[in-house]
Structure 1
Amino acid sequence: MNSKNTTERTTMPLGTAVIVGVGPGIGLAIARTFAEAGHPVAMLARDRARLDAYAVQLALTGQDVRGYVADAADPAGLRAALHRAVTELGAPDVLVYNAGVRREDSPLGGDDQDWADVTAVNVLGARVAADTVLPELRDGRGSLLFTGGGYGLSPSKEHASLSVGKAALRAYVRVLHDHLAGTGVHATTVTITRDIGGGEARFDPAVLARAYLELHHQPEAEWQHELMRY
């Protein structure tokens, strides 16, 4: 009986990997990495044509990979897209929140609504995604992973909104990690301190994407609120 149950568990299909913020760099690499590991993948982004092209590429992995149009700055739209993805692809094992707005701006001046929209993507969208996916996790266990950045540690006056957003995201994930302690859900930030794909092998998108998969499989005794990539 025990042997049979063990076999059933090990052959059970993997849950969905939900990736919010899939572009041509690390977002696509993360989607590919989880698909190649055997997960159905839901890719969320604003560009339908780009999502369709990615889905065609990743179909070669043999997994069900689908794109869902969503704007992380729109909480209601993001929730709706996440619910649709879970309904169509099945209960998730992992959420990766990779959405963010990088632009040059100043801590003063500019348009108020523009700052509000950027903050909605960099911070609020992360909370909305976590709040939506958490109750849907298969067996109530899984991983909530968030892409941080070096400006969250060392702010830049030339990238003010991104610096504020990454610092706030880092704080949010820290309190989320503490809040979920003992529940079987792993919340952590992957803080990437260099330019992705900037020529250093350890910052190649495919290499960084492996770190997300490894975090998802990390033993619970080793869980921490942040993984640094210097």
Structure 2
Amino acid sequence: MSEKGAVLVIGVGPGLGVAIARTFAEAGHPVALIGRNAAKLKELAARLLDEGHTAQVYPADAASPAELTSALDAAVAGLGAPEALVYNAAYLRPDSPSAVSAQEWADSLAVNVIGATVAAGRVIPAFRDGHGTVLFTGGGFALAPSPDFASLSVGKAALRAYAQALHAEQLDAGVHVTTVTIRGMITPGDERFDPEAIAAAYLELHRRPQEQWQAEYLYA
């Protein structure tokens, strides 16, 4: 087992998700790559393994509490007690507030909010020595809702509220809960909004001493 606790990353794709996993892996943490596309996860994990890191794949749909719980349990069993959880999954589609059906609202909230609550509820009790970090990927639409991305705006606003409540609840227990509210377009090659640059902020938040913990980190 690694001297450092595992980091479980939910919502891993070729952009920010894998950048977060790589950043923590480079810092010496074994990482779990969790997402819907098993083939893509294996491809991304192979790159990390080639770089000499410890990375394992656990396919799961964040919208399915049963799948997500099973994947998280398998990751803890395979990599050891976690030190951090990163919830990076999102249901992203253009839509207007008057044209979202009841089922589409439910589908959005299942990924943007409910999956986050399932993950946190499962992982926090498993944290190494009872202490750890929970990092949620937020977005600027939580602060300035968009009529062109209504369900995502509502989902990120709800996630922000949940994270702030969980932060207050877990603070004295030694668990740092925060939302990384990204106020800009993630763009490879951009000095500020390149996935690797944003991922570095996640690691920095995880390393912060308790007196510097905060419920939200505005990345702008």
Q: Per-residue CA shift, 1:114-155, capped at 9, x if unaligned?
A: 221111000000000000000100000010000000000000
Residue 60 of structure 1: which of 47, 50, 60 is its match? 50
Asked if 1:218 corresponds to 2:196, the answer is no
| Letter matched to residue 125 of structure 1 | G
Matches within 5 A, 1:185-196: 185-196=175-186
Q: Which residue of 2 aligns with 1:103?
A: 93
Task: Give, as a single letter, the amino acid of the residue that structure 2 aligns with 1:107.
Answer: P
Structure 1: give runs of 5+ residues left out of the alignment. 1-11
Residue in structure 2 matched with residue 170 of structure 1 by the alignment: 160
User: What letter corresponds to residue 167 of structure 1 in structure 2?
Assistant: A
1:145–1:187 contact (8 Å) kept in structure 2: yes
**Conserved 8 A contact 2:100-2:151:** no
Summarize deviations over 1:40-73 as a string: whole Å, max 9, x none: 0001000011001011100134232011110011
**Gap regions ≥5 residues in structure 2:** none
Contact 1:145 1:190 in 2 (8 A): yes
1:61-210 correspondence to structure 2 within 5 Å: 61-197=51-187, 200-210=190-200
User: What's the CA shift string for 1:12-63, capped at 9, x where partnerless?
Assistant: 7101000000011100100000111100000100001100101110013423
How far does residue 110 in structure 1 lie from its aligned partner after superposition?
3.7
TM-score normalised according to structure 2 size: 0.97
Cα separation, 2, equivalents of 1:93 and 1:199? 30
Identity of aligned residues (%): 55
CA distance in 2, matches of 1:14, 1:62: 16
TM-score by length of 1: 0.93
C-alpha RMSD of the superposition? 1.3
Supply the distance in 2 between the matched residues of 1:49 and 1:128 (Cα, whole angstroms): 24
* Contact kept in structure 1, 2:35 and 2:60, CA below 8 Å: yes
> How many equivalent residue pairs?
220
Q: Is the contact between residue 35 and residue 61 of structure 1 (CA under 8 Å) also seen in structure 2?
A: no
| 2:33 is the alignment partner of 1:43 | yes
1:101–1:121 Cα contact (<8 Å) kept: yes
Q: Is the 8 A contact 1:94 1:144 kept in 2?
A: yes
- Matched letter for residue 73 of structure 2: H
Bigger Rg, which one:
1
**1-structure distance, mates of 2:39, 2:67:** 18
